[in-house]
Amino acid sequence: GADVPQEQKAGWTSFIKSLAHMTGDLSSMTAPPFILSPVSLTEFPAYWCEHPELFARISEGSSPQDRMERVLRWFIATLKGQYTTRNEKMGSEKKPLNPVLGELFFGVWPDKNGRGETRLMVEQVSHHPPITAYHIENQKAGVSLQGHSGQKTSFSGTAIHVKQSGHAILTVKPKNGDREEKYLITLPKLRIEGVIWGSPYVELADSSAIQSSTGFTAAIDYKGKGYFSGKSHTFKATLTQDGHKNLQTYEGQWTGVSHAGKQVFLDTSAPKEEVVVKPISEQGEWESRRLWEKVARGIRSGNYDEAAKEKTRIENEQRQRRKDEAAGGTSWDLKLFEHVDSDEEYRKLADMLHDKLTPPHEDGFVFKG
């Protein structure tokens, strides 16, 4: 690995070897310090709303088709943040902190130009396998997003393949008085390239979809270098209604500019707005940045012994809690969400999709409010 620090080369080689035996959950594996991120996965749902303007303006669309197009634009605009932020901030994709059960993350995007305040609430709802549930809402705009996210990982020898589980459901109350709309958002597959060199980055693969309760579908295909064009990070989306004719095609780079016909559909160079989070001193003990404070400090300052010691302390405490619960016949209570075996909204919207989804049912996490 060309980008691996000299003294961690042996550790990196054995980490890569161990990837071959991985059983679907990479998050719990121990990796060399240079690849560790001081940020927990519970913070990632914030990437859904780093363009709060685009999120809020969905409800201002004048027709179901106009609103579907706004949903697609907002969705494509989130991808750059979701999948390239660590490369921009830390030089490569990194291994996020593996959240503990019950870990929380809260944030807001303040009101600006009357668009309304957007609030984010996140809870780690499962540890084995890791599942993160989130709720984002802008009450004034009448737009909210409810979802959960998990990952299944495998290694092909050169790339890590990540299949995302979970989905998100967007609820929109149109400003023109049309009735409430729901949009099912499925998640793309990821390929993590550059692993051998120690400089991982994400490429999106296969496809994902957005299905509206109004009958509109956006089917999105993702390709890397040399498929649609010589460019990396490209997508091509097609808009249809009730599975009929193709109404519009959108294509370009999800990290750059995309077009609908001759018109610019989205230019991702517009600045993003990071979520505003309370200072650690005002956070509760289950809130992510407070919970991981010392681990994060150790990683940031290169004091890996402190980071490892604190991480072990947190993990042991978690193990003890689970033992106590088992002994007492109790179980951990979720604070913000309620688990349901089959998400009704998912089932209904998935059924409207032309290319049927597997599975037809999915777990859901209902926001308790």
What residue ranges bind ligand HCR (CB under 6 A)? Answer: 26-27, 31, 35, 44, 47, 82-83, 93-96, 149, 151, 162, 164, 192, 195, 200, 202
| DSSP label at residue 58 | G
How near is the Cβ of 263 to ligand HCR at its closest, in Å? 28
Residue 31 or 280: the one with the smaller Cβ distance to ligand HCR is 31
How near is the Cβ of 61 to ligand HCR at its closest, in Å? 24
| Token code pair at residue 298 | 């150790």
Is residue 207 packed enough to be buried (19+ CB in 10 Å), middle (13-18) or exposed (0-12)? middle
Residue 27 or 241: the one with the smaller Cβ distance to ligand HCR is 27
20: left (phi over 0), alpha (psi -120 to 50) or beta: alpha
Which of 168, 184, 173 is CA-nearest to residue 138?
A: 173
Residue 1 or 116: the one with the smaller Cβ distance to ligand HCR is 1
Residue 220 or 260: the one with the smaller Cβ distance to ligand HCR is 220
How near is the Cβ of 48 to ligand HCR at its closest, in Å? 7
For residues 90, 124, 167, 265, the Cα torsion angle rounded to the nearest 10 degrees is -40
Residue 156 or 249: the one with the smaller Cβ distance to ligand HCR is 156
Which of 166, 197, 202, 2 is CA-nearest to residue 85?
A: 202
How near is the Cβ of 136 to ligand HCR at its closest, in Å? 12
Q: Which residue type, as a one-letter code, is found at position 62?
A: S
Which of 34, 35, 32, 37 is CA-nearest to residue 296?
A: 37
How near is the Cβ of 131 to ligand HCR at its closest, in Å? 11
